[in-house]
Structures are given as C-alpha cells and as structure tokens.
C-alpha cells in the first residue's frame, strides 16, 4: 500500500510530465493570462555570437496570437500581425532566468462598420509595444508579458 505522501509525489511528478509533454508537443500554453512558449533554440544559443539573431528570429516566428499586440495599440483598434518585426532592447540574466525586453513593430487598422457605403478608408497604422520575455534556463519555457 502506498502512503498518501508518496501518492501525492507521484501525482505531482505525473502532472509535471504531462505539463512538459504539452509544452513540447504544442510549443505553447496559456496560463493565468500569461502566454508561455518554448524558446529552446534561444536557450541553446545563450552566450554564443548567434544569440541575438536566434532570439529575434524566434520572437518574429511566434504565433502572433501569443503576443500582447492588442494591448499595445495606440492608434488603431485592431492589431494586424503581418510583417511583425522584433527589436531586442535589453537582455539580462538571473540565477534561473534570461530576462529579455523586446520592442515589437506591427500594424493596426481602425475598424469601421464594414458597410458598403462606409466612407472610412481602411489604412494601416504603425504600432509599437514592449514585451518582457522570461526564459527559464532549465526548461526554456518562456513567459510573455506586456510592458507598454
């Protein structure tokens, strides 16, 4: 017969394995209004000359739905993620995290009523927001948070 404490440890281990499998298989999860993605290439490139280029590439190749683009709107009311561009503003390191501050350039539109006689032209507006990426140095699980 297994003790309750041992049973709880086994259950926690199983939950962690299920979490890790979910993260690896889908490369993304959504938890408490914070998106989490896997930046494994970036973590492997840490302290190499290619680090900044790989980090920029992984940000730009993310699913745009996982970036807080809608929160960062200043001109339009609907974010468009075509031709998303990242600019790395700062990278720092703690004992267990790589902390990245990045600027995201994207576009938006001011959505009208979409009626046939709506005189509002649909022009794209340039937008910019800042995000913070906290990359876990053990797992490469990355939390994406809106800054400004």
Domain parsing of the chain, residue ranges:
28-146
pTM more than 0.75 = no
Contact predicate 45/55, CB 8 Å = yes
The predicted-structure confidence for 22-71, as pLDDT tens digits, reads as follows 434 344 444 445 678 999 999 999 999 999 999 999 999 999 989 999 99
Six-digit token string for 136: 């876990």
The predicted-structure confidence for 72-88, as pLDDT tens digits, reads as follows 999 999 999 888 999 99
The predicted-structure confidence for 87-135, as pLDDT tens digits, reads as follows 999 999 999 999 999 999 999 998 876 666 666 667 899 999 999 999 9
């Amino acid at each position: 017969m297994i003790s309750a404490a041992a049973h709880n440890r086994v259950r926690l281990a199983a939950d962690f394995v299920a979490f890790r499998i979910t993260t690896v298989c889908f490369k993304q999860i959504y938890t408490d209004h914070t998106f989490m993605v896997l930046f494994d290439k970036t973590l492997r490139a840490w302290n190499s000359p290619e680090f900044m280029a790989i980090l920029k590439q992984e940000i730009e190749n993310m699913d745009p739905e996982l970036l807080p683009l809608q929160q960062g709107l200043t001109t339009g009311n609907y974010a468009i993620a075509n031709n998303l561009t990242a600019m790395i503003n700062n990278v720092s390191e703690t004992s267990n995290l790589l902390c990245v501050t990045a600027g995201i350039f994207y576009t938006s539109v001011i959505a009208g009523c979409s009626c046939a006689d709506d005189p509002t032209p649909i022009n794209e507006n340039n937008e910019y927001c800042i995000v913070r990426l906290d990359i876990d140095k053990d797992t490469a699980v990355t939390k994406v948070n809106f800054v400004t």
